[in-house]
Structure 1
């Protein structure tokens, strides 16, 4: 059995058809329950209108007395042939009958009551038959008159059963069928026109390829309900484009930076003896391995989905980094100091990324500190600072220290210029801010966490 296509248009049509069916059932049920009282209310209102209409077509003689009705408007046989079912009377101000279609010379009134002469609708019984009547006072020739009109209940019911119900049923079915056809045609055309921007957006999305990632779908032309989806798609394209750019930059940078060390290794292997050049070759190989490792770390740090951020107690991670780097500091003859005031309670961070961030900052400070120098790690609730006692960086070079592969005048031959770039990527993804400051003497890098109390991924251009 074929399934109905799961499209937005079909869903809207299904909802509309279900609403129409529910409305039809509700109206049908209400009509069934209220049909009889509604009919009687309509009958009373109709009799009142007919009574007023009879007043308009009443004719008078030269003395101003009613003598009948305009035959061009009301044919006489209606009152003469149906005397048992239709009654009409006209009386003067004293209630005396001056015109009637039967032999009874008294005004009509509800059961058990007398004629009052006021405008009203009422029901009475005549020879066991229920009659629906109305009284309409009016003035003509300066005199006051009363006109009464009555119709038997059995006549009304017979006409309704023989003519009215069938006509109503047939008219309802015809009207419903016509409405349904018109509705389906118009709603089909309207939905097709309304969903045209969605089809255009689908065609535009189908044309996007890795070479055209800068294309974006027009969100303003979409319906309000679909704009968040289009915006999310565009944001996904931006992240994908940023990932491609990062990948391309990584490949380009890696190829550029690895050319020279690899060329030196090849040249040394060809020129020197194995015993004399082995140590230098191993050192060059280690440098290449370090550069490759840092490039990989940089690529991982640039993608927010690689992080697992939780609310953590940072003190164990800080102690772990401090103990690890203390051995490195001892090899360089540098003293490593730690100060926590006040001790941080909770941070939103990825433990592994936090370890890498602190390790790279401490390693950079240790390698740029003089022998017998001191490197301080100061931690607070709002962030931390790593300070050394080295030569520092010139003021005009401070904005460049986080650039990839940048190394200042006091560059280290074993460095690739990627350590601080990795730190910057980690801080940016966490929503933190790294800033560089000159000291007297020395240099400091501060990490301010208060700029983002809650972790959020960062969109990069």
Structure 2
């Protein structure tokens, strides 16, 4: 069953193992090619040439020169001298002058040159027979001083065959065996390492599969995960945070809607049951109140989800002017004067959702109109990095300052029939933009101050930064 799991297409473990096997196979192939290149035991001529080249190197290191730089003999203490003494029937050498005259060698006055060839035209590798034994001869030039000297090294075919069978092939077989065993051992080590490393990922996958709407607060543990997989699990946990927030907002919306709509519906039903259908104005007032509550609930649901926002460069003075124009009739009915203060240098656009900013200012200005004094004034001011809405009413009780943004909360001296969601909607909009909102008393009246950082002017938003 585990083998079937390993062979499953798309498995990270399978892909890594295949990549590992391919890499080791490539290394083994390169090592084999190198061995064949160095020893090439399938080609006798190549093997002979390589063996003779090695012998020539030994002899060159052992040649002794006189004061004039002429080669005179082979160092009798050198290993090369021992070889040519004890197996002289199969290995030979000769040192010649520039005309091919022998100076010294394994046999006196011996020239290792095939019959019928002139020394001047002697190839670097030649074949000849000595006492009925086939030899391969290597001829190369010595680095003498002034005059030219040459070294000839010969090895019998039987010594070359012995070299191939007793040295080259065992070396090749040893390399093959060591490589094969190393491949199997490393394969097992890598398999165990991968299995251990991916175990945490499998546990995280099982934990993710068990997450349901009833336990959205659960998070995946990143302890023990490989560093390459930790960002993936952390991103999944952040996605769960957003999902939990959205689910909670949805539940709160449904609970609030049910709670807030229950009261006006009960009033309307009561009036109908008591025969109050003739009081058309009262019924319309209740319907208007319910419509207002539904409208606010829909606004709250909309602004609570950050993906509903479309950020663009927005002029706050322009939006404030639209809000003042929109609420002009309400202000006139209540005898309130709307005034805006904004300097030209304070009108630099900010990155914001224009419709959300309109709702934000509309709720704040509407709230200020309802709490302003008779024939009073509501001021919308825009300064560098600050926007505030101020009325001249009685202000806010100190004990109520920390409750203003709680959903469905109403003060004891409420003058309107709203659902208690206006300031909660403002808080959601400000939080999504990464701004701050403060409520306080201005003596007279109340003041709501919105502060937005420099990043809002520079063209960045919390939603964009989170997506990045």
Q: How high is the TM-score relative to the length of structure 2?
A: 0.73
Q: 1:254 aligns with which of 234, 243, 257?
A: 257
Q: Partner of 2:326 in structure 1?
A: 324
| Deviation of 1:358 (Å) | 0.7
Q: Label 1:363 to 1:153 Cα distance change in 2 as closer, same or farther (>3 A).
A: farther
Q: 1:20 aligns with which of 24, 39, 45?
A: 24
Matched, 1:303 2:305: yes
Q: Partner of 1:137 in structure 2?
A: none
Q: Partner of 1:405 in structure 2?
A: 408
Matched, 1:9 2:13: yes
Q: 1:350 aligns with which of 345, 348, 353?
A: 353
* Aligned pairs (5 A) from 1:84-95: 84-85=90-91
- 1:391 is paired with a residue whose SS is coil
Q: Partner of 1:96 in structure 2?
A: none
Q: Label 1:39 to 1:282 Cα distance change in 2 as closer, same or farther (>3 A).
A: farther
CA distance, structure 2, for counterparts of residue 102 and residue 381 of structure 1: 102
CA distance, structure 2, for counterparts of residue 131 and residue 157 of structure 1: 17
CA distance, structure 2, for counterparts of residue 367 and residue 310 of structure 1: 31
Whether contact under 8 Å (1:431, 1:451) holds in the other structure is: no
- 2:462 is paired with a residue whose SS is coil
Q: 1:382 aligns with which of 357, 380, 385?
A: 385
CA distance, structure 1, for counterparts of residue 454 and residue 436 of structure 2: 7
CA distance, structure 1, for counterparts of residue 107 and residue 320 of structure 2: 117
CA distance, structure 2, for counterparts of residue 433 and residue 334 of structure 1: 27
Q: Label 1:80 to 1:157 Cα distance change in 2 as closer, same or farther (>3 A).
A: closer
Q: Deviations over 1:194-228 (max 9, x none)?
A: 21111111111111111121211111221000101
Whether contact under 8 Å (1:431, 1:452) holds in the other structure is: no
Q: Partner of 2:394 in structure 1?
A: 391
- 1:372 is paired with a residue whose SS is coil
- 1:195 is paired with a residue whose SS is helix
Structure 1: where are the runs of 5+ without partners? 52-66, 69-75, 88-100, 106-125, 133-149
Q: 1:221 aligns with which of 216, 220, 224?
A: 224
Q: Label 1:425 to 1:451 Cα distance change in 2 as closer, same or farther (>3 A).
A: farther
| Deviation of 1:408 (Å) | 1.7
| Deviation of 1:84 (Å) | 4.8
Q: Deviations over 1:120-156 (max 9, x none)?
A: xxxxxx9994499xxxxxxxxxxxxxxxxx9845566
Whether contact under 8 Å (1:369, 1:388) holds in the other structure is: yes
Q: Partner of 2:270 in structure 1?
A: 267
Q: Label 1:429 to 1:80 Cα distance change in 2 as closer, same or farther (>3 A).
A: closer
Q: What is the RMSD of the two structures over their aligned residues, measured on CA atoms?
A: 4.3
CA distance, structure 1, for counterparts of residue 351 and residue 32 of structure 2: 61
Q: Deviations over 1:32-63 (max 9, x none)?
A: 66668996799469959x99xxxxxxxxxxxx
Q: Partner of 1:56 in structure 2?
A: none
| Deviation of 1:418 (Å) | 0.6
Q: Label 1:347 to 1:33 Cα distance change in 2 as closer, same or farther (>3 A).
A: farther
Q: Partner of 1:361 in structure 2?
A: 364
Q: How high is the TM-score relative to the length of structure 1?
A: 0.74
Q: Label 1:340 to 1:30 Cα distance change in 2 as closer, same or farther (>3 A).
A: farther
Q: 2:204 aligns with which of 201, 204, 207?
A: 201
Matched, 1:419 2:422: yes
Q: Deviations over 1:289-345 (max 9, x none)?
A: 111221121122111111111233334323222211223211221110011123321
